[in-house]
Chains A and B, each alone.
Chain A
Amino acid sequence: DTAVSQTPKYLVTQMGNDKSIKCEQNLGHDTMYWYKQDSKKFLKIMFSYNNKELIINETVPNRFSPKSPDKAHLNLHINSLELGDSAVYFCASSPGTGRSYEQYFGPGTRLTVT
């Protein structure tokens, strides 16, 4: 029944490693997002995909590469992890790209880089 799911829930890794976070939504939505929540709880958009096409890339370092194999999935791959990448990453989805659409969030993935 989970609408937006993310795996893993926790991820602990060392600097320099490469890791991926997976997101899946079963709502039939066309648009998916990645947000980053830092240690002060500040939330910021990273990427947005609509029908598998990238539509927003908010000046995120190119070590971060989203991939959308289909409309229901949006994965986030991070290369050469840095300490500053430690955060909670949220996936979200919405029916479309209109401003009135609400976004449904996943439970988050807490990434800790040591």
Chain B
Amino acid sequence: AQSVTQPDIHITVSEGASLELRCNYSYGATPYLFWYVQSPGQGLQLLLKYFSGDTLVQGIKGFEAEFKRSQSSFNLRKPSVHWSDAAEYFCAVNAGNMLTFGGGTRLMVKP
């Protein structure tokens, strides 16, 4: 069965600093991977997705993610964090018409 692990429950970064959120997946076939962001009291918004091809994918709001098959990872990065990036971030794998989510990482941004 598929699973997704986000090792960091909370991360705090200073505004303007770089960010990396970790995601590890377990899936027997080619993974279809997604990163979603959930702002307080809001639904989930898709940041980016990976299916195949270039292992570095670009998303909205200046985010990117790198797929590393050898490490079963799909880490999310942003070079310079803005205060508005404070939110909950979810990594997910689609393994047959349903998303399996990681536990989420709460990002806090210090002024």
Q: Is the CB of B103 within 8 A of A40?
A: yes
Given known A41-B88, A99-B32, A99-B95, contact A107–B103 (CB-CB < 8 A): no
Are A99 and B103 in contact, with the CB atoms below 8 A? no
A100 within 8 A of B: yes
- When distances are taken between beta carbons in the complex, the residues of chain A under 8 Å from B42 are 107-108
Q: Which residues of A contact B19 (CB under 8 A)?
A: none
Measured CB to CB, the closest approach of chain B to A69, in angstroms, equals 21
Interface size on A, residues (CB 8 A): 29
Q: B32, B34, B97, B101: which contacts A42 (Cβ < 8 A)?
A: B101
Residues of B within 8 A of A33 (CB): 98
B97 engages A56 (CB within 8 Å): yes
Contact of A48 among B98, B100, B106 (CB under 8 A): B98
Q: Report chain A residues within 8 Å CB of B111.
A: none
Indicate with 1 or 0, residue by residue over A72-106, a CB within 8 angstroms of chain B CB atoms. Answer: 00000000000000000010100001111111111
Q: Is the CB of B101 within 8 A of A43?
A: yes
A99 touching B88 in the complex, CB below 8 Å, given contacts A41-B103, A90-B44: no
Q: Known A41-B88, A107-B43; judge A102-B49 contact (CB<8 A).
A: yes
User: 1/0 contact trace for B50-69 toward A, CB 8 Å?
Assistant: 01000000000000000000
For A33, the closest partner residue in chain B by CB is: B98
**Contacts from A to B (Cβ < 8 Å):** 4, 31, 33, 35, 40-45, 48, 50, 55-56, 58, 90, 92, 97-108
